Structure 1
Amino acid sequence: MQFSLQSAVIFFEKAKQLGMMDKGYVWIVTDEIANLLDSVDTSVKYNMQGVIGIKIHFAETSFKQFKTRFRRMYGLRYPEEEEYSSPSIFALRAYDAIWATGRAIKILQQGNVTSKELSQKILSTAFQGLSGMIEFKNGMLSQPPTFQIINVIGRSYREVAFWSPRYGFSENLMKHTDMNAFAEVLGPIYWPGRLQITPKGWTPVDVDRPLKIGVPAMGAFTQFVKVRYDPDTNETDISGFSIDVFEAAVKHLPYQLPYEFVPFNGSYDKMVELVSNKSLDAAVGDIEVIADRYRYVEFTQPYISSGLEMVVTVKPEELKETEMLVWPFTREMWFLLFVTHLSVCLVACLMEIVHGRSLEDIGAFWFCVDVLLFAPREQFKNPWARLLLAPWLLAIVVVTATFTASLSSMMTISRVQPSVLDIETLKMTNATVGCNGNSFIVRYLINVLEFRPENIKSIASISDYPEAFERKDITAAFFVSPHAKVFLAKYCNAGFTKTGSVYKPSGFGFVFQKGSPLAIDISEAMLEATESGQVEKLEKQMLSSYNCSSPINSNNGSIGPGPFSGLFLIAGLACALAFLVTIVRLVREHWRNFLPGNVLEEVELQPNPVN
């Protein structure tokens, strides 16, 4: 839509009255308006402070003389419009057009000049006009215009940059013209409200009324939201992981978002309800995204994954002393050792027999087993048997050393197991469990996991859980996954562990009113913060304060065949190669015995039968 000068004057006057020329706003006008800024009154420019415009550039060397003459003559003829007496680029182009036409008529000097002849003469003219070089090619100006990027400041405007089809954006005027213009480095842009920092543009909220964002003041885990009131300064300090994530997301928004945190002393469900009835604009904290809340509020995308986990105390694992020797390796490892050792023994025995050594010389098959483990390699006559023995002896040394180290470690490190394995045991024994009474967990334990309400104890703080376990008030505790991670990190040496399944995976999100576009914008901004690694860094900072140097060993620590796969592979290949060579030799010897020459020689050597 084209805008006339009069419309633009009225538009910016109204915008200033509405406060839309203050901080946080951005205005950009095209050349239709910017080209006329030389012809408007100072009061119009005062209504356009901070506006960015695009106007056609023209040289001002000869323009100054023309401007003085133009204003004098225009003022004499139109005294009532003296405020618009400065010429714009349109006046300069009109002047150049009349000048080109006059030159063409003067050159032709004929009484009867046709319009075609006059047009051809004008198109063939070339001169330096007030608006630039006047020269035509294919019926159009051969030199495309150079545009100025201007910033309206004070009574006039300042040049910010230049743009041309050939060079693009530049701060150097010498690239765009043939004049010896001075290329100065231009300063920063002054936005509306004299703001020198680039505004974020349109905001969906009222700048004069910041968002009222509720935060849980009585959360059990202050690592996520911590509210502290300082009576000396009468100020409230709000911090925590959830607050840091929200502030990081706001920095990625394409507009400014004014807000203030409002501590709320109540349950999470009640705080979400206040967002729904518009008593609060939003809620930020460790708020679980669940289906029944989605019916009346909007959630952002979860900024951290979650789920319901069970934490219990640990007890020493009862192990029989008779089973001590099998602890270091898994069943798969023991089976692989037996099969590989048996294979090497069989192949070595077979190679010794093929080499000419009888079983009487070997002693027995199981003697070969002892030889493989304890006898020196020189007792083997077959070089292939020695080749087979080398990698397997190396594997035996490494496995033996690992077995010794693993067994020593298992005998000195405490091995534990969960005191309760699953929720079915809890319900069968009518055990009492603890959880955050202000969260959705109570409702989930009753409605979904079918715990009795009288068997659910409300725990107010993270530090109250160890005492409740110690006094036997609770047998297990239920946390959402982020809370469980913090609890186990803080009390990593106190004898707690996770057990059972993870129920209902979900996550923590921020709450907005139903239909609010901020939920989508914050979700997108949060994705950018997550992809940049900010959220992960904030989570690591939250957990790094708990230095857990000696975690409880809650598994058996048995070693499988994985670490020895290379040794077993080499030994197996050597065994297979030796077996293949032995089979080839047996086939060759067997085939040689059935050759005709050998058969005839055997017949001739036999004694004649006695008649």
Structure 2
Amino acid sequence: MKKIPSKPYLSSIWFIEVLVAQNTATIPVNIGVVLDLEFLDANIALTCINMALSDFYATHGGYKTRLVLTTRNSRNDVVGAASAALDLIKNVEVQAIIGPTTSMQANFVIELGEKAQVPIISFSASSPSLTSIRSPFFFRATQNDSTQVNAISALVQAFGWREAVPIYIDNEYGQGVIPYLTDALQAVDARVPYRSVISPSATDDQIVAELYKLMTMQTRVFIVHMFPSLGARVFAKAKEIGMMSGGYVWIMTDGLTDEFLSSPNASITNTMQGALGVRPYVPRTKDLETFRIRWKRKFQQENPDYVDAGLNILGLWAYDAATALALSVEKAGTGNLGFQKSNVSSNSSTDLSTLGLSLNGPNLVQALSNITFKGLTGNYLFDNGQLQSSAFQIMNVNGNGGRTIGFWTQAEGIVKTLNSKNHMTANSGSNSDLSTVIWPGDTTSVPKGWEIPTNGKKLRIGVPVKDGFSEFVKVTRDPSSNTTTVTGYSIDVFDSVVKALPYALPYEFIPFAKPDGDPAGTYNDLIYQVYLKQKCMGFPKASDLGSLGDKINEDFRGPASHQAGTSFWFSFSTMVFAQRERVVSNLSRAVIIIWCFVVLILTQSYSASLTSLLTVQQLQPTVTDVHELIKKGEYVGYQEGSFVPGILLDLVFDKSKLIVYDSTEQCDDLLSKGSRNGGIAAAFDEVPYMRLFLSKYCSKYVMIDPTFKTD
């Protein structure tokens, strides 16, 4: 009985001895960490990296290698990051570097890594421009910013917005994504009329000045891409000047969305109520929730000053990056962890000429390229040094945080829930696939995306003033109020088209008249004003020109009822009497008439006599050729103030043979008189005016070819 308690004691001694033996057999591998430790995100990430290594070796106790971290604070400085990386490579002889924090810092650090054959693994440098470096020693352990632009453009398309203005920080991080964002928006027929660039060092007054400039424009859809510190100031000032009210649309890129909603701060989220945002989707798993609790406890112990800090996606990417590196170092082996020294001697610790080459670097690159495992963020693997993109979560800021209103995937487009069986259409363009959005101004009404700008210039439209043809355009002056009203069919059409536009188009009609109300000139004079930019549009004129001729055949003149009766009797009686038999029965007459029509349709030919009788009603004009009018010296008419005289003169009409008219009644009077009696033989006018004229006098006149096209 006394020996029983001794067994676990002896067993415990053996377990400790085994651990000691394993630890003495492990090989330390130096790894550098370069972060801006003056910021919360960097401290969150550093805690995650340390926890990742602790968790990894707790579950892989048999591995021979152990990563030993040497951390440097780059202090939010590009030169500081480069100097720290150079020191780590040259003096500590690190096998890889985790970091740096920003895309601007990464540019030179990547060059150093390639020169020394040391892999650089950044979990936060997301600018697409880094891809152009094409270094095999650079691994982006975060989402490339270009992967989110399709999710953003899908949102713009789903709500039918036709314009969007990006607001971005003036540095590598901000500028890198803009070409991709512009292309994505253009692919869904959305324009980028303006780009708002804000300096990282901009003062509050400079931010407000830029926002006021945006307020004067008609576009109300803004896409914000910048560092959270600057983004918080932009939203605060936007709220102050009233740009977070109804009618405005704000869309945040993933950096802002994840930062503001992972660690909600009421003072910040209150300034961006109703904004939309996208961020990479991380599936909620039991392991993730357990880690979140452990991380919270450890981070509070190490950083007691950060009370409300929350775990964000950068921390998760840092955790998975450290895990990937630990796994890759083990697989790459430890055959040679040294550096090939340079032959150049120097006493400087940061001299590039004495930078050595990592002998194990190529092996580590190969191992990282082939690594695959299930991390906290999901399936983890690199494709050409890039972390594979995932689905995006679409967020709506409400209250002291945000809520998920949908998702976006490359395969399915926008969906309300992932793996939805009801969603069958890829790349959906409808906002019905999203949950209800609460927009700025606490409304559920979808903003139209544009407003009439506060100082927007109006489109000035010149309107010809004339006495006749008022059905198209009529200018009415009110002497008592000294105001002018423009009405008519053309005005109604134009107003309807403007209302259907997906953007604001302020305009005003400017009558082309003298102070006394009389016409200020011809249509050509009005067009010249457009050329001089006195007015922006001439209105209204058609592009076709035709002519009117007088009908012939006295037998068919008279009231419309008389003409119709005569025509039908001629046609039908001729077909009946063609058999030389008098048909008395009305039913027999109907049968014969029907039969005649069937025969005519089937044979598609007419006898000469039948053709002449059936075509009598196709009345022919007295004028069939313009050159005939010129040859005979006939008088022709045109509408007062139109551009037609110029065309007639180009056709070699004698100027003395041109007679002007200003109304349909006067045109009818001139045509009725005829060219020999002080009238005209034909009238030349634009097709819309001719159709209006024929609607009144269809029994007397006809429009004939050719139709002359104008430039």
Q: TM-score, normalised by structure 1?
A: 0.48
Q: TM-score, normalised by structure 2?
A: 0.42
Q: Specify which structure has the bigger relative contact order, considering alpha-carbon pairs within 8 angstroms and separated by 6 or more residues.
A: 1
